[in-house]
Structure 1
């Protein structure tokens, strides 16, 4: 049988796209983790440099804004120059900003290195990267992959915080920076060697298809094309509803909880490492929740998924001021409940945007929707810090975010199903 070949089956190999997904997953994980580091440094910087809470929050706010604003243009840059090149350059920029950080003395230097440079570097590796990689490599399992890559960005923002917080408390914030630089350099080497931009580069078809197709070259200007795409989207009611709900998403996640939960816990006598552990706990549950959301968005009406996500998040934020004053168990319950919903909104939002505007424009359109997300996050990052400085508590910020999430839930059900969609299609994804 061995000689004749009878009964032998062709050897099955792992689709290379799954390696690309893994590399992208880790890159988004690390980039998001680095971008969230200033929330750990808020209290040490107050003590060492004498900077006030609103000033530090302003730096974080600018970084968050640029993180989103770069997205639509990064989609065009990736289409023109390739995903791998953009990732390598972005990681190099991020490493450079971190290397210079220990030498800063003034607030404007922090603004330059973390508000501007790190904001641009991480912005090139925002959620748009995950959407672009998914659209290039997958037709089948697209919702699942988007959910997984989205979860990595949010999870990274939370997962590394306990380790970095521990290093900061025991050895100082500069050693936390050196640790992050080492991780980024290792990742940069991995991306340069093994990352691929498109299935054609390894002689493979897009997952779910049979033909190996060379990608169409990018046509247009990397600055003008995203702006013209935005102009065409502004006439769509669905775009405004998607952008509006995502504004409230950013307002209630990385802008508020990601930036201010650790200092809010500090106000209630909860140590930094323990508070960072709560965020990491959220990150683990977010990985489950957002990946599950991607699976659900392949099967159910994404508008109603968004309704439940925003509604439940709103209720959890209304519960948070009580949880901070109550027993640790209440705060743990909040962490689990909120973590499952941290950024589960992304897969259904991507699904609706792709249906409404088409696969070709999905990356740039979603990039602009992310801009709205980051404007909301930036508003909350600065506004919550300002409210804390004025009122001595974060309670009003948390309660206000809870109510805007309930409003976003109502907005979500008014989004159109998407072109060519039918009730049955919306249930099947």
Structure 2
């Protein structure tokens, strides 16, 4: 009897073809942005608390600034370990846990009585939690979910941190002025709890979790196995990268970047404006205006990074920042003048604009280790920020003015502009090599 080969019908069971991850990739970016927005809202709060805490507890400004400094340093040190931990435990678990840690730190401040508790709650707990939601978090999302538009998405997520300041800062300043510092802090804690729930319910670690391809990808990418030894890998990546001059140049630039942006601004801007007779709410609104243009500048910088040499972009950004800081002592007044608005716009545009070019250089030079390398560079950024926050407040106590601080930061920004010119991307290396 003749045998006939049966041709499988189109309806036969077959593995489903990978779906396009276009829409879901953007959903992941939005959820990640929400987490970064909320964490970013906590970065400017210490600046609003300086005067209320000084008046309520008679703590020195340096004691209060110490909590902000510890926060910034831990924020940076945590970032590279968080990137490796996300490879081990998953992005969703780490991000949700970080939001819970932030909420706990904010709530515990309601019962503090000594300055060391402010350091423990705001400095340590919120520093550790927010350190998991830095641009290394953004780099993980873009690296896994996007093949195309990475620079644009990185810029948008970079802007999210400052969007948090834009959304919350003026309202927080008004609330602190009207109701004291406790109710606004509780409100932020509740916002962190809400975002933690959203992250847990909707964020996914990898396109393969939903059977999709990365945005712009031509093929399905299997989900990598959980990385063993997250902490060991993080340290190994550091030692590998540290053998290249590129890493030290990027880290050096980011020390200066942190010192001249969030380090000085988020902890000392409101007190500096107050020295010139400006109301705290008005000063916070100016800082919010800076946040608006920081967001726009970060997105624009991501678009430019997809098209131009990142090193040249960094040189331009640091030079412009140096000029704005040099002019700042001449612009402060008891009221907002047009020149101060111009400062806020120009300074804001180059504030976070440095992030997409540095992420791009890390990815080009260090491949899959790029997010962790950027995490270490970001640690340098936060080290500079922490030192600047403390020394800025200390300089104010010593000299009675912030003028020397602005001029010193302007000078070191010119140094960073020169460092960017000599960056050379090494042959791509990996810690696994």
Whether TM-score is above 0.5 comes out as yes
Question: Is 1:347 aligned to 2:356, yes or no?
Answer: yes
- The alpha-carbon deviation at position 36 of structure 1 amounts to 2.1
CA–CA separation in structure 2 for the residues paired with 1:282 and 1:95 = 26
Provide the residue aligned with 1:207 in structure 2: 215
Give the secondary structure class of the aligned counterpart of 1:70: helix
- C-alpha separation between the residues in 1 aligned to 2:69 and 2:360? 28
Deviations 1:106-141 (A, max 9, x none): 001101101111111111111110011110111110
Specify which of 373, 379, 388 is matched with residue 371 of structure 1: 379
Asked if structure 1 preserves the Cα contact closer than 8 Å seen for 2:43 and 2:266, the reply is no
**2:8 maps to which residue?**
none
CA apart distance, 1:210: 2.6
> Of 93, 97, 100, which residue of structure 2 is paired with 1:89?
97
Corresponding residue for residue 334 of structure 1: 343
Partner of 2:134: 126
* Aligned twin of 1:160: 168
More off after superposition, 312-321 vs 323-332? 323-332
Q: Aligned partners of 1:262, 1:44: CA distance in 2, in Å?
A: 12
Question: How big is the shift at 1:12?
Answer: 8.8
2:62 to 45, 54, 57: 54
- Pairing partner for 2:152 from 116, 134, 144: 144
| Partner SS, residue 35 of structure 1 | coil
1:192 has 2:200 as partner: yes
Query: Which residue in the other structure is 2:292 paired with?
Result: 284
184-193 or 139-148, larger mean C-alpha shift: 184-193
Rounded to whole Å, the distance in 2 between the matches of 1:133 and 1:13 is 13
Residue 159 to residue 322, structure 1, CA distance change in 2 (3 Å) = farther
CA contact (8 A) 1:98 1:181 kept: yes
Matches within 5 A, 1:32-47: 32-47=40-55
**1:346-390 superposed Cα distances (whole Å, 9 cap, x missing partner):** 0001111111111x1011100000011011101100000100011
1:228-243 correspondence to structure 2 within 5 Å: 228-243=236-251
Greater Rg, structure 1 or structure 2? Answer: 2
**Distance in 2 separating the partners of 1:239 and 1:365:** 8
**RMSD across aligned positions (CA):** 1.5
**Runs of 4+ that moved beyond 6 A:** none
Structure 2 residue runs of 5 or longer lacking an equivalent are 1-18, 429-433
In structure 2, the partner of 1:79 is: 87
Partner of 2:34: 26
Residue 220 of structure 1, CA deviation: 3.3
Which residue of the partner structure matches residue 381 of structure 1? 389
Deviations 1:374-414 (A, max 9, x none): 11101100000100011111111111001100110010010
> How far is 1:293 from its partner?
0.2
C-alpha separation between the residues in 2 aligned to 1:215 and 1:85?
16
Match of 2:51, SS state, is: helix
Partner SS for 1:349: helix
TM-superposed deviation, 1:419 = 4.0
For the residue of structure 1 that corresponds to 2:331, the secondary structure is helix
Shift of 1:418: 5.2
Q: Determine if contact 2:21/2:213 at 8 Å carries over to the other structure.
A: no
Q: Which residue among 305, 314, 334 is the counterpart of 1:297?
A: 305
**Matched residue of 2:360: which SS?**
helix
1:8 matched residue in structure 2: none
Question: Could you state the TM-score of these two structures normalised by the residue count of structure 1?
Answer: 0.93
**Contact persistence 1:352–1:418 (CA under 8 A):** no
